[in-house]
Amino acid sequence: MNITVETYPWHRLNVIWQGDSETVKGGLPHHRLAPTWQILLLGDGSPTRHLQLLTGEKTEVDVIDMSLVDDDDDGAPPQIAAVEQPHLRRQVWLRTAGGQRLAYAASWWNAERVDQYLQNRSLPIWESLSRLHTELYRDVQGIYYGDSPVLEAAFGEKGPFWGRHYLFWHDRQPLTLIYEVFSPYLQKYLGKMV
């Protein structure tokens, strides 16, 4: 396994508003977030698959970081405590085959078991786990609305942005914690955010 030790920060939103798991379960008023965006953000389906269906292009992954994380929490959402240590943080851009960046994701894995699930690290998580026929439950724990100059530059889109975090469960055990932020470019397919 070829990994670096904590060389890159991850791109957390500067939060303007956030909601917890109860907010996720109840949904948001439509004047705050359009129903189509709520399906993407609050649903338990695969964002990689949804992006592919929306754009009509294969969703590809650019892995920008795989780092062992020394800190207990790495500034991650509190559910990182459910993922067994030592932690490995993976950061990716989700993009179309044509190169349009659609989302950013950071995920935290048990460093000793990550290779069991991400045998080909260039694949989206959903595709890797599907190939292994891994049964999963996506447990959305939080939703965010916030800014990030780094993500503005990377997406080529003005913020604020919508994001979320969730735990993947497998065999009743937490497998990974994932934090995702979606590009406003998706309004082309989903319509306005509000």
Tens of pLDDT, residue by residue over 117-166, are 676 656 555 555 555 445 667 899 999 999 999 999 999 999 999 999 99
- DSSP three-state, residue 124: coil
Domain 4-190 class in CATH: alpha beta
Cβ neighbourhood burial of 128 (10 Å; 0-12, 13-18, 19+): middle
Q: Tokens representing 129? A: 């786990």
- DSSP three-state, residue 180: strand
The amino acid at 34: A
Q: For residue 155, what is the enclosing H or E element? A: helix 149-155
Q: Where are the alpha helices (DSSP H) in 33-148?
A: 35-42, 47-55, 114-117, 125-131
pTM of the predicted model, to two decimals?
0.89
